[in-house]
Amino acid sequence: MNPRPGAAVLTDKQLLRFRDFIYENLGLWFGDSKLPVLQNRLRIRMGKLGVDADKYYALIRSEDDRAEIEKLINVITTNETYFYRCESQMDSFREIILPRMVEEKIAAGNRSLKIWSAGCSTGEEPYTLAMCIFETIPFHSIWDILIYATDLSTDVLNRALEGKYNKRAIERMPADFLKKYFDLRENGLYYVNNAIKKVVDFEYSNLVDAYYDTDYDIIFCRNVLIYFRDETKKMILNKFYDALKPGGYMFLGPTEMVRGLVDGFKLISLKDSVVFQKAPR
């Protein structure tokens, strides 16, 4: 690829150094086919700072200033998302999995529900889950509902917390959600209402880190594992296994599979999608 005029130069050798650094420190992997993407994003960042590749490498490696690493994360992550993404999967969650789980819980006298949206990006996914829960659980206000939403990009988390979306983000959502769960403000933007916001807790954390709670009913980790190598995927999926309660469910992106990566999950086919259920191992 030819550098754009004005863009910083980055040799292949330098690029690979960045790739390794990112993998070792953040867990994200840029395979050969994704190297041009990484190259572009690095160039943009270096161009903005007005530094060359060696300087930039030194900067992100400097021990006591993680601030630039945070900026780097913000430019190298892909944050594409929208409300009610993977419609058939969301339908199944809402119409099959959630009612089943709620029924069991009520029978057991347990009115709490804890969900993890791992790699939540700008918030569309966890907010969608909250809306589905409000739709499905008749007296949700007497329930203890927590949707824990995590990401390692601070940029997206700040936007998630704001909860302000344009028309494109909400296009695929069932039409009545808009009336029930958003306040429309001027300039064509839609604000997630406070009842929904109250059940979602955003937190900055890297999935590669070791710390996690172990009492989740359901985990959503969709379109995130694609950024990892198999060894990292294995580690994260095993972490999810431990984080789920017995019988808990895990939703991955529509094309993401776990075979050969983790044991103990039972594959359940739903209408046009699948879900993984934690089984004893």
Partner 1 sequence: MNSDYTILVVDDSPVVVEAVRDALLKDGYTVLAAADGIEALDMVRQNRVDLILLDIDMPRMNGYQLCKLLKRDEKFREIPVVMLTAKSSDADRMWGVKAGTDEYLTKPFNYAKVKEILGRFL
Ligand X SMILES: C[S@@+](CC[C@H](N)C(=O)[O-])C[C@H]1O[C@@H](n2cnc3c(N)ncnc32)[C@H](O)[C@@H]1O
The residues of the shown chain that bind partner 1, judged by CB under 8 A, are 63-67, 69-70, 154, 157-158, 161, 203-206, 209-211
DSSP assignment of 94-139: IIIIHHHHHHHHHHTT--EEEEEEES-TTTHHHHHHHHHHHHH-TT
Nearest distance, CB of residue 203 and ligand X, angstroms: 10
DSSP category for residue 60: H
Strand ranges in the chain using DSSP code E only, listed in sequence order: 112-118, 144-151, 164-165, 182-184, 190-192, 200-204, 216-221, 244-252, 265-269, 274-278
Nearest distance, CB of residue 160 and ligand X, angstroms: 9
154 contact, one of ligand X, partner 1, none, CB 5-8 Å limit per kind: partner 1
d(CA 23, CA 38): 12
d(CA 233, CA 256): 11
Nearest distance, CB of residue 45 and ligand X, angstroms: 15
Residue 194 or 255: which CB sits closer to partner 1? Answer: 194
77 contact, one of ligand X, partner 1, none, CB 5-8 Å limit per kind: ligand X
Nearest distance, CB of residue 30 and ligand X, angstroms: 12
Name 11's Cβ contacts closer than 8 Å, sequence gap at least 6.
53
67 contact, one of ligand X, partner 1, none, CB 5-8 Å limit per kind: partner 1
Residue 161 or 261: which CB sits closer to partner 1? Answer: 161
Nearest distance, CB of residue 109 and ligand X, angstroms: 32
Residue 55 or 66: which CB sits closer to ligand X? Answer: 66
d(CA 63, CA 79): 27
DSSP helix/strand/coil, 67: helix
Residue 139 or 211: which CB sits closer to partner 1? Answer: 211
Residues of the shown chain interacting with ligand X in the complex, contacts defined by CB under 6 A: 27-28, 77-81, 85, 119, 121, 125, 150-153, 156, 206-208, 222-224, 227
